């Protein structure tokens, strides 16, 4: 498993289902970055997220974020789930 964010992925599920002995090893850790400067420079019509950590960065930078007219896009089932869990509309 490459990242601590991927502990529930298909590979881990398969290993568990097939009673394989394994140890999780994390190659990297995703951390939120301050994206406030990006929004200070201009406004956006659309934001597309490629990982759940992108959603986390958005809400870490803007805890009271409200979507309003902003279009949200998401790539992948985990990212879609993160968008929906934060009450955003795709």
Contact 79, 72 (CB under 8 A): no
Residue whose pair of structure tokens reads 């934060």 in the numeric block: 86
Contacts of 75 (CB under 8 A, 6+ apart): 48, 49, 50
Mean pLDDT, rounded, of the chain: 88
3-state class (DSSP) for residue 51: coil
* pLDDT tens-digit readout, 50-68: 989 999 999 999 999 999 9
* pLDDT tens-digit readout, 63-83: 999 999 999 999 999 899 999
The yes-or-no verdict on residue 1 having pLDDT over 60 is no
* pLDDT tens-digit readout, 15-58: 899 999 988 777 777 788 888 988 888 889 999 999 899 999 99
3-state class (DSSP) for residue 16: helix
């Amino acid at each position: 498993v490459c990242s601590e964010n991927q502990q529930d992925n298909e590979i881990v599920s398969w290993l568990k289902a097939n009673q394989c002995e394994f140890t999780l090893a994390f190659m990297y850790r995703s951390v939120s970055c301050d994206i406030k400067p990006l929004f200070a420079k201009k406004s956006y019509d659309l934001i597309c997220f490629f990982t759940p950590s992108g959603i986390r960065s958005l809400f870490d930078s803007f805890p009271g974020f409200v979507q309003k007219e902003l279009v949200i896009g998401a790539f992948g089932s985990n990212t879609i789930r993160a968008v929906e869990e934060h009450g955003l509309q795709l």
